[in-house]
Amino acid sequence: YGQMTAGSWIYIGTQGIVQGTYETFMEAGRQHYGGDWAGKWILTAGLGGMGGAQPLAATMAGASCITIECQRSRIEFR
């Protein structure tokens, strides 16, 4: 799947994590769903520094996302 090194719009920080996560989701979708995430769900956990990028990346990829987080402050932040 996608790598977390240099890319077209990646840099160290949140934007880079979103890009790497998006590319990973897109590749998983290509391999398992013919590239179409429509009507599919991604179930994940954690809305911290890295995991917080997953709901946005899933939406960008065309999927729906359910994210589990036990810390109320992280849910409210996102």
Give the pLDDT score at 38: 95
Would you state the pLDDT for residue 6? Answer: 56
Q: Cβ neighbours of residue 48 under 8 Å, at least 6 residues apart?
A: 74
Residues of the chain with pLDDT under 50: none
Q: Are residues 3 and 24 in contact, defined by beta-carbon separation less than 8 angstroms?
A: no
Query: pTM for this structure?
Result: 0.78
